[in-house]
Amino acid sequence: MRNLLKFFRIFIFITFAGVLAFAANPSVPQEGGKQYAEVIKGNNALLSKEDLANPYLYGGPEVEAIKAWGVGSPNASGFGEIFTLLQGHYFATIFAILIVLVPLAFLGHFVIVGQKKFAHGKKIRVFSGYNIFVHWAAAIPFVLICLTGLVMVFGDKLGGGAFVRFARDIHGIATILFVIFGVLMFLMWVKDALPKAYDVQWLMIMGGYLSKEKKPVPAGKFNAGQKMWFWVCTIGGFVMAISGAYMFFQFADIDTLRLMALVHNILGFLIIALLITHIYMAVFAIEGALHSIIDGNMGEEEIAILHSYYYKELTNA
């Protein structure tokens, strides 16, 4: 009985100490009895260093307070307010809109304008075996990154758990592969992807894809659209890898992590939209276009019409 009373006293003392530790500090501005994360670290003081994923990330009442943040929240500082607002209410919605509306727009194009078709008689070698290997070695992990990234964006709608964690792991592994082969692809095609004056003309007529006519289009080995995708895919991809590393390893202060998350998501909008565009153009918009990056050959008529400046270079050579 004496031991039981002793245990009871210890239990009461620990409980009381816990209440004091988690209680709202009356000297700190509050809303609904909850303190704001930017004002006090709170529960981190109770955790050992090895248990902290990041000493700048806060827990307990602070996390609950963050969920209620909105425009004009008291004590919000840095990127906390805008990050919470966008992450909590808009990012997933924007991604959902993109993966629905962009394919629908291209479906409309396919139905109204249709597929461009060219004679497949004479073939010209455009891409070497090395070009083909590096392209696919970078493209496959890149697509995996985008797909697994979307799984994580909609993780709560997919039920979370092992599937989302698996997607996260694949996301990280694919990123490493992309960075390796993405650098090789950048070095391989950066010269051909440099902007030219005639790229402006290509943009003004949208590459001729809004017309069924077969008129020579001002473009080099890569047209303006392909060049845009190249720069977004490589430089944008590297920025995504860097910002993702910051978030995964959390080796920065909380405000830097918020900035990285904002950059990661906003750049993700552009990458997802352009990836869908790239796939549509290669698989559906031009008959047989995908084969050029599989066997390296492209039809002479296709080059003469869609890459007229490049065709002139080849014929003059």
Q: Give bridge partners of residue 116 from the DSSP assignment.
A: 286
**Spacing of C-alpha 298 from chain mean position:** 31
Comparison of pLDDT for 218 and 79, the residue scoring more: 218
Side-chain-side CA neighbours of 140 within 13 Å: the count stands at 7
Q: Give bridge partners of residue 299 from the DSSP assignment.
A: 123
Side-chain-side CA neighbours of 312 within 13 Å: the count stands at 7
- Residue 28 has a pLDDT of 39
Helical (H) or strand (E) element with 124: strand 123-125
| Number of structural domains found in the chain | 1
- Residue 184 has a pLDDT of 97
What pLDDT band is residue 86 in, cutting at 50, 70 and 90? Answer: confident
**Spacing of C-alpha 186 from chain mean position:** 18
- Count of C-beta atoms within a 10 Å radius of residue 177: 16
pLDDT digits (tens, 9 = 90+) for 170-209: 999 999 999 999 999 999 999 999 999 999 999 999 999 9
Comparison of pLDDT for 262 and 49, the residue scoring more: 262
The answer to whether residue 74 is domain-embedded is: no
Decide: 207 and 276 in contact? Cβ < 8 Å: no
The answer to whether residue 113 is domain-embedded is: yes
The answer to whether residue 70 is domain-embedded is: no
The answer to whether residue 207 is domain-embedded is: yes
What pLDDT band is residue 75 in, cutting at 50, 70 and 90? Answer: low
| Percent of the chain topping pLDDT 70 | 75
The answer to whether residue 23 is domain-embedded is: no
- Residue 303 has a pLDDT of 95
Comparison of pLDDT for 40 and 129, the residue scoring more: 129
Helical (H) or strand (E) element with 190: none
- Residue 267 has a pLDDT of 97
Q: Domain containing 217: what range? A: 80-316
Domain at 106, CATH number: 1.20.950.20
Global pTM reads 0.77
Query: What is the Cα–Cα distance from 262 to 246, expressed in whole angstroms?
Result: 12
The answer to whether residue 30 is domain-embedded is: no
The answer to whether residue 261 is domain-embedded is: yes
pLDDT digits (tens, 9 = 90+) for 229-286: 999 999 999 999 999 999 998 888 888 898 999 999 999 999 999 999 999 999 999 9
The answer to whether residue 219 is domain-embedded is: yes
